Structure 1
């Protein structure tokens, strides 16, 4: 597996590695760009206000991007689930635990130091809070840790994984407090482990499956249009009515990734650099947004420039880290 990938991209067993195609890298590239774009829209909207078009886009992006990421993570987890316990623990430490604690500390310190210009204010620096309150985007790695533990525990019971996954994917919407609503993403991860990469890609190529995926997207799009008149309260698209977008979005993006696979070398490269982009893009977006707004740019231009910087700057940082043999220590994959 390529270096610098998100923690979900574990070195796989030979059969899984043979099935994996560049289309999955393209899909991951699309997913991380959606993540960066969504955060750029939210950050800029909070700073200068967001119109209905912006709120519609944010809701739709949030209905799709993290379900897609967790599905791809589960799809690529089969090799890790089959590893011996010691190897599994080492990889979990290197690919999830290490980057989580390192970059959680970096983000928490950065938010504390820059509370005057960031949308996230940290009044008191408490690094121990990382143990139970993931800062900013680091909740993804926090939840991913439990995804792998549960999938590993049920590795010989595919039926139980699928049943639990379906229950959590729906039930998470009705849970409140601490991290419990994120159990819906654990469910999506577990559902994905029921598929091989080859099977998921083949299904997305079937016109009937694509038609179902498109049909599933129609109600969430209409709901997002209806909700665009007011700012979302809490996490955008957090309601059971948006659940069909999780399935429909995965199908359509996997289909699109295969359609542009041969021309998507750039997106594939982005997909192989999701970890450095994911853990640093919030800092890059903050700097880009502040500079753009101080330069007098409007919200739309700020979102475009910030998104481009949020993807490109971390990729440059990864290239420099690779040159200086820092990729591993930074938690961005194998050095």
Structure 2
């Protein structure tokens, strides 16, 4: 989904350096980004954990309602946050851009494609041997694999925005919105998710300065912001849990147009929530910020502890409450990757979460300075 260089902030712009010192110059301005990322990565892990537990136990629990509530904005907010700082590198030369936005994501995608696939070797090959496994890896080059599709799409989105950077911003945004509204269902994760999510990445890139200004306003007018969030939560709940009777669009929130609006509104609600939490401080905020700072670590490694604990709890029957099992699996799947990263941080195994120097096209010391926030040129 780490010391933040002048060219790479965003969701996981720097997973090769996930442990960064606290911001001191602008603690309120940048801390909320990490808090927002922390909220998002927890919601993603919660979704996978809860749905997996529900399927394994054959019923639903209270966590399913939380997952359903977050469905309209969970992924949109992730991509909006990831687009916030693309303006810092989009106009740079292709070598620097490729290092920061293509090779960077490709390294972690390919590494964890192999690792995750190796864990499921038997399931993937079904006795067909190494040839089937290699074919599976080759297919993963053109079709994003499992939960890693998000990292794959980040590289694709970044390249798309760079190639289209001369297109006027409003036109680019309208085009991306039309893709989201269009009934595109090809069966390809790459194509379908690109069409469905590109608009949020573009919005994060084009409106970066305004989104940061929104966070400043929220901190300055906390009471009004809380009222706005309460109103949003009410509307979100009504649309999310009101059935339509249409199989293709089971709830109001899934209807074309409404899903786009709710995705954008929910993403901004997470921004506002993160800004308020950052202003309030406290252990919850610090925990969320820690998760956000290392969101890529959690995103890459949560699948193994999630699957292991889910299997253990379901088979043992120690706990029969689906909601409680889902909660325990979620907490474990978030916490264990952070523990693993801490253990390997100063060992040769740090390559799991830190991109080695050999896989850099441009050294950090050669990266030129950039303005604090430079949104994509809109004309």
Q: How does 1:52-63 map to 2 (within 5 A)?
A: 53-63=62-72
Residue of structure 1 aligned with 2:352, choices 297, 316, 330: 330
Do the aligned partners of 1:40 and 1:303 also contact (CA within 8 Å) in 2? yes
Do the aligned partners of 2:42 and 2:334 also contact (CA within 8 Å) in 1? yes
Aligned-residue offset at 1:50: 3.0
**Is 1:192 aligned to 2:197, yes or no?**
no
**Is 1:70 aligned to 2:79, yes or no?**
yes
CA distance in 1, matches of 2:277, 2:356: 28
Q: Which residue of 1 aligns with 2:12?
A: 7
Q: Which residue of 1 aligns with 2:260?
A: 243
CA distance in 1, matches of 2:260, 2:316: 40
Q: Which residue of 1 aligns with 2:112?
A: 103
CA distance in 2, matches of 1:2, 1:268: 14
Residue of structure 2 aligned with 1:152, choices 149, 158, 162: 162
**Is 1:162 aligned to 2:173, yes or no?**
yes
Do the aligned partners of 1:210 and 1:252 also contact (CA within 8 Å) in 2? no
Residue of structure 2 aligned with 1:92, choices 101, 104, 107: 101
CA distance in 1, matches of 2:305, 2:248: 24
CA distance in 2, matches of 1:228, 1:320: 49
Q: Structure 2 vs 1, CA of residues 208 and 189 (structure 1 numbering), >3 Å: closer, same or farther?
A: farther
Aligned-residue offset at 1:132: 2.1
**Is 1:315 aligned to 2:338, yes or no?**
yes
Q: How does 1:129-144 map to 2 (within 5 A)?
A: 129-144=139-154
CA distance in 2, matches of 1:226, 1:58: 15
Aligned-residue offset at 1:255: 1.3
Do the aligned partners of 2:64 and 2:323 also contact (CA within 8 Å) in 1? no
Do the aligned partners of 1:8 and 1:74 also contact (CA within 8 Å) in 2? no
Do the aligned partners of 1:56 and 1:228 also contact (CA within 8 Å) in 2? no
Aligned residues: 317
Aligned-residue offset at 1:275: 0.8
Q: Structure 2 vs 1, CA of residues 203 and 50 (structure 1 numbering), >3 Å: closer, same or farther?
A: farther
Q: How does 1:210-221 map to 2 (within 5 A)?
A: 215=231, 217-221=233-237
Q: Which residue of 2 aligns with 1:120?
A: none
**Is 1:80 aligned to 2:89, yes or no?**
yes
Do the aligned partners of 1:60 and 1:220 also contact (CA within 8 Å) in 2? yes
**Is 1:270 aligned to 2:291, yes or no?**
yes
**Is 1:29 aligned to 2:38, yes or no?**
yes
SS of 1:193 mapped into structure 2: helix
Q: Which residue of 2 aligns with 1:284?
A: 305
Q: Structure 2 vs 1, CA of residues 50 and 316 (structure 1 numbering), >3 Å: closer, same or farther?
A: same
Do the aligned partners of 1:213 and 1:252 also contact (CA within 8 Å) in 2? yes
CA distance in 1, matches of 2:242, 2:61: 10
TM-score by length of 2: 0.73
Aligned-residue offset at 1:286: 0.3
CA distance in 2, matches of 1:93, 1:181: 20
Stretch moving more, 40-49 or 260-269: 260-269
Backbone CA RMSD of aligned residues: 3.3
Q: Which residue of 2 aligns with 1:224?
A: 240
CA distance in 2, matches of 1:5, 1:311: 19
Aligned-residue offset at 1:289: 0.4
CA distance in 1, matches of 2:205, 2:76: 14
* Structure (1 or 2) with the larger CA radius of gyration: 2
Q: Structure 2 vs 1, CA of residues 5 and 111 (structure 1 numbering), >3 Å: closer, same or farther?
A: farther
Aligned-residue offset at 1:247: 1.7
Residue of structure 1 aligned with 2:215, choices 201, 205, 223: 201
CA distance in 2, matches of 1:333, 1:320: 17
